[in-house]
């Protein structure tokens, strides 16, 4: 049972909305960044013996946001909170979940430990980027639940875009899980491409995509980071004479002018959720959080 929602500074409007949906009070902490880069946190509401859900994404400036999160949770515990539940719409550092080369920091595990050892009891994530890990339970030693916002994303697309004989495209094998769900909501079929990563950005796509000819396409992925995968996918679809290409994702990380690159490649529009704030965050994950938080 969650008693209070604490609004982390990176998800403040989302947290206020979740609190309203759930009929709970929202704690707005005082958070300042000093000129020397240090973060100041103050919690002005009574939290003793309360179960507090901290809604706080880690996308944008992950290190600043992690330190803010750790300061918040340790202070909540110090002030007597009974339980702290982390709601992390975008879990940063999830990629490096194994030691690919000798000597690497396994940062996914290290960040999970930091979150746990600060005093977090349970964690709720949205479409966490788990490749080699079957389930979020394997990453955290505390109770963890990973839920999907793809149905919300797909419902928004169905309602707001008039698409001609649409087909859903997942840009790589990992995206099949999201493409399948989106296709079901959009009541259509889907295909999944194959990708090879060359260095940090480049990708080569090897599948046949003839099926997209003259059909509008909805590309669905979990994350848009540099946009490289989306650009290659769009080029491939255009070669195959696809119709309008709508690009969608859950997490708009959008580094390195990804929007410019994707639009320049020929996307009709770009749609994402507010797990990270961005100019394309048109779909809120607020109902997904409000529905799943009581299940933890």
Catalytic residue positions, numbered: 195
| Closest to 68 measured CA to CA, from 107, 110, 114 | 114
| Nearest CB to a second copy, comparing residues 15 and 167 | 15
Q: Tell me how many degrees the CA angle 145-175-66 measures, rounded to the nearest 5.
A: 45
The least CB distance from residue 11 to a second copy, in Å, is 9
State how far the Cα of 290 lies from the Cα of 287, in Å rounded to an integer: 5
Q: Which of 1, 23, 36, 48 binds a second copy (CB under 8 A)?
A: 36
Stretch that binds a second copy, among 137-145, 165-173, 212-220, 274-282 (CB under 8 A): 274-282
**Backbone phi, psi, residue 59, to 5°:** -90, 145
Q: Is residue 162 involved in binding a second copy (CB under 8 A)? A: no
What number of chain residues touch a second copy (CB under 8 A)? 74
Q: Which is nearer to a second copy, 142 or 263 (CB)?
A: 263
Pairing of strands 167-170, 143-147: unpaired
SS (H, E, C) 14-38: HHHHHHHHHCCEEECCEEEECCCCC
Nearer to a second copy, 107 or 188 (CB): 107
Neighbours of 51 (CB within 10 A): 16
96 binds a second copy per the rule CB under 8 A: yes
Q: Considering the complex, state which of residue 81 and residue 144 has its C-beta at the smaller distance from a second copy.
A: 81
Ranges within 237-266 binding a second copy (CB under 8 A): 253, 255-257, 259-261, 263-264
* Contact positions with a second copy (CB under 8 A) in 164-203: 200
We find the least distance from the C-beta atom of residue 40 to a second copy, in angstroms, to be: 7
Residue 206 token pair: 């090897």
Question: In whole angstroms, what is the distance from residue 188 CA to residue 169 CA?
Answer: 11
Tokens standing for 225? 């980071």
Q: Indicate the residue among 173 and 202 with the shorter CB distance to a second copy.
A: 202
**Closest distance between a second copy and the C-beta of residue 210, in Å?**
27
d(CA 148, CA 218): 18
Provide, rounded to whole angstroms, the least separation between the CB of residue 15 and a second copy. 10
- Of the candidate residues 3, 21, 62, 238, the single one contacting a second copy (CB under 8 A): 62
Among 1, 23, 48, 103, binds a second copy (CB under 8 A): 103
Distance of alpha carbon 123 from alpha carbon 84, whole angstroms: 9
Which listed residue (78, 173, 189, 194) binds a second copy by CB under 8 A?
78
Q: Tokens in use for 69?
A: 């999160």
CA 39 to CA 64: how far, in whole Å?
8
Residue placing its CB nearer to a second copy in the complex, 114 or 142 = 114
Q: Which of 1, 23, 48, 102 binds a second copy (CB under 8 A)?
A: 102
d(Cα 23, Cα 158) in Å, to the nearest integer? 29
Angle between helix 62-78 and helix 107-117 axes, rounded to 10 deg: 20
Q: Of 1, 23, 48, 101, which one interacts with a second copy (CB under 8 A)? A: 101
CB of 295 to a second copy, least distance (A): 26
Nearest approach, Cβ of residue 184 and a second copy (Å): 28
């Amino acid at each position: 049972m969650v008693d209070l929602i604490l609004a982390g500074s990176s998800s403040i409007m989302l947290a206020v909305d979740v609190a309203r949906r759930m009929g709970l009070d929202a704690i707005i902490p005082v958070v300042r960044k000093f000129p020397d880069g240090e973060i100041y946190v103050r919690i002005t509401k009574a939290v003793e013996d309360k179960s507090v859900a901290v809604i706080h994404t880690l996308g944008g400036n992950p290190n600043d946001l992690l330190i803010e999160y750790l300061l918040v949770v340790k202070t909540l515990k110090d002030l007597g909170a009974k339980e702290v539940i982390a709601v992390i719409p975008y879990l940063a550092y999830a990629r490096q979940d194994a030691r690919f080369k000798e000597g690497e920091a396994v940062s996914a595990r290290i960040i999970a430990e930091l979150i746990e050892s600060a005093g977090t009891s349970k964690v709720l994530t949205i479409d966490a980027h788990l490749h080699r890990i079957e389930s979020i339970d394997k990453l955290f030693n505390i109770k963890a639940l990973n839920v999907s916002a793809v149905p919300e994303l797909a419902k928004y697309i169905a309602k707001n875009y008039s698409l001609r004989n649409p087909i859903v495209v997942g840009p790589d094998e990992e995206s099949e899980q999201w493409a399948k769900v989106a296709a079901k909501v959009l009541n259509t079929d889907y295909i999944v491409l194959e990708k090879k990563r060359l260095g940090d950005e480049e990708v080569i796509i090897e599948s046949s995509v003839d099926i997209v000819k003259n059909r509008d396409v909805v590309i669905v992925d979990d994350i848009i980071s540099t946009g490289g995968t989306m650009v290659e996918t769009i080029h491939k679809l255009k070669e195959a004479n696809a119709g309008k290409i709508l690009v969608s994702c859950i997490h708009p990380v959008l580094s390195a002018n990804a929007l410019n690159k994707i639009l320049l490649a020929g996307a009709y529009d770009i749609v994402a959720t507010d797990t990270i704030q961005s100019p394309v965050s048109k779909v809120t994950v607020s109902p997904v959080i409000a529905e799943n938080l009581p299940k933890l």
